[in-house]
A and B are shown apart, each in its own frame.
Chain A
Amino acid sequence: MSNDFQTWVNVAAYIGGGAAMGLGAIGAAIGEGYTAAYANSAISRSPNLSGEIFKSMLVGQAVAESASIFALVIAMVLLFTEFSSQSFLMIFVPLSAGLSIGFGAIGSGVGSGFPAGAACMGISRQPAMSAKLTTNMLIGSAVCQTPAIFALVTSFILLFTDFSSSPVSPTWAAILGAGLASGLGAIGSGLGGGLVAGASCDGIARQPKSATTVTNVMLLGQAVTQTTAIYGLLISFILMFKTFAPTDSIAAAMALLGAGLSIGIGAIGPGIGEGFTAQSAVSSIAKNQKATAEITRVMLVGQAVSESTGIYALVISLVLIFVI
């Protein structure tokens, strides 16, 4: 019987490892491809600047690739670590860890491609702004990586926490819910942050004088897009660290899984929506710096409204955990 149990733990680790790398590769591949596509257009526009464009593309792709390297790290840990089979819960831990980083890397990978592509195009338009564009691109890309880092942190906590003393039911659902909350919750924020960073690189290339203002508004816009990923992380932490009373009821377990799904799926839309708002605001500020205060105000109001659906998802998750 113990052999059968260990087999199931291994099966879960292999599925988790496969999901981590398979899903995690999607975003970075799209992001890097997007960057290369724009680098091609930029070189065709200004062939004499190919060296500078290559340079920007290389560092941009290196950062965009980080999300999939996070996934690779977790996949390798899942595939080659011998997990103990002392508790039935160990079947869900590797599965959840793999899903967390797998989903979590998608948005950040794609998102990081947007500023890198825009920076390549920007250099072909304004070669003199190359250094500023690279700095802005890398700062924007780094912020895009934060949701993937949240997912990575969740995966590591899941893998290195000892759940053996927790009751099997409903903790199995809390473990799965935690991975899904953090992983799915990171998709929208990663993409949204990338849209803003891409627009800011484009804006700086078109209106070099607006660089400082555009970068500052980009950081503000990106900060708001990241909030829904933080909600996902928050629910994930509650699910991982709250002690749940043992129960045989499947409904109680499903409530915890539902909590993870609610914030995970619910965070995707607001993250992208807030990204659209800030993307447009950054582009508009680059065109008309004098209207910065007005545009920033409208941006924040628009983002707050878009955020409300994420807050509904958060409230439902909290109700599912603490009330039901």
Chain B
Amino acid sequence: MEEIREIQKKYCSRAMFTAIFGGLFLILADHVSIGKGLILGTIFSSINFVLMGETLPKRLLQNQRNKAVMFSLGSIFVRYLILALPLLLAIKMEQFNLISVICGIFMVQLMILGEQFAKFFLKLRGKTV
């Protein structure tokens, strides 16, 4: 499943790059909890996306229906628990800003949508990405 790994690598590395640079900038600007929250949320967003892709063939290519259902439910359960963790940390600890953790949790989705919207609008202007 090289294609899936490639796409995971692309979006996760972009998300982490954005979060680390954004986070560092915020930390240097004395918004430490916001910067740390952004990085924390993005780490878990990337883990969720990687797990989503890794379990995809297992979910789809099962010969037995019961196994496919079990894998799907297990995958959703584990991934939601993983996403709940940074939120719990942000609620309980003042070192992490809750809103920036929430932004970080959606970083992979933002990268996916950002790329497609950029392509779409640049194409409308007659340019190519």
Residues of chain A whose beta carbon lies under 8 Å from any beta carbon of chain B? 29, 36, 39-40, 43, 51-52, 54-55, 57-59, 61-63, 65-66, 69, 72-73, 76-77, 80-81, 134-135, 138-139, 142, 215
- B17 at the binding interface (Cβ < 8 Å): no
Nearest Cβ on chain A to B35's Cβ, whole angstroms: 19
Nearest Cβ on chain A to B7's Cβ, whole angstroms: 5
> Which of B4, B80, B117 is close to A142, meaning CB atoms less than 8 Å apart?
B117
Closest Cβ neighbor of A40 among chain B residues: B60
B120 touches A51 (CB 8 A): no
B52 touches A58 (CB 8 A): yes
- B28 at the binding interface (Cβ < 8 Å): no
In the complex, per-residue mask of B81-116: 1 if CB is within 8 Å of any chain A CB, else 0: 001100110011000001000100110110011001
B112 touches A138 (CB 8 A): yes
A66 touches B91 (CB 8 A): no
Cα–Cα distance between A77 and B105 once the two chains are bound (Å): 14
Cα–Cα distance between A138 and B7 once the two chains are bound (Å): 15
- B57 at the binding interface (Cβ < 8 Å): yes
B116 touches A72 (CB 8 A): no
Closest Cβ neighbor of A219 among chain B residues: B120
Residues of chain B whose beta carbon lies under 8 Å from any beta carbon of chain A? 1-4, 7-8, 11, 49, 52-53, 56-57, 59-60, 72, 76, 80, 83-84, 87-88, 91-92, 98, 102, 105-106, 108-109, 112-113, 116-117, 119-120
B3 touches A134 (CB 8 A): no
Nearest Cβ on chain A to B11's Cβ, whole angstroms: 8
Nearest Cβ on chain B to A77's Cβ, whole angstroms: 7
Contacts of B102 in A (CB 8 A): 73
> Which of B4, B83, B106, B109 is close to A55, meaning CB atoms less than 8 Å apart?
B4
Known A-B contacts A69-B105, A135-B119; the reply to A77 vs B3 at CB < 8 A is: no
> Which of B4, B52, B72, B87 is close to A76, meaning CB atoms less than 8 Å apart?
B87
Known A-B contacts A55-B7, A61-B52; the reply to A69 vs B106 at CB < 8 A is: yes
Contacts of A66 in B (CB 8 A): 106, 109
Can you identify 19 A-B contacts, CB atoms within 8 angstroms?
Answer: A43-B60, A51-B2, A51-B4, A54-B3, A54-B4, A58-B8, A58-B56, A61-B52, A62-B108, A66-B106, A66-B109, A69-B105, A73-B105, A76-B88, A77-B91, A134-B116, A135-B119, A138-B113, A139-B120
A36 touches B59 (CB 8 A): yes
Nearest Cβ on chain A to B53's Cβ, whole angstroms: 5
B60 touches A39 (CB 8 A): yes
Known A-B contacts A59-B7, A138-B116; the reply to A76 vs B108 at CB < 8 A is: no
Nearest Cβ on chain B to A134's Cβ, whole angstroms: 7
Closest Cβ neighbor of B90 among chain A residues: A76
Q: Which 8 A-B pairs have the closest CB atoms?
A: A51-B3, A76-B87, A138-B116, A80-B91, A135-B116, A55-B3, A142-B113, A55-B7
Cα–Cα distance between A77 and B87 once the two chains are bound (Å): 8
Contacts of A55 in B (CB 8 A): 3-4, 7
Known A-B contacts A36-B59, A62-B109; the reply to A139 vs B116 at CB < 8 A is: yes
A76 touches B1 (CB 8 A): no
Closest Cβ neighbor of B113 among chain A residues: A142
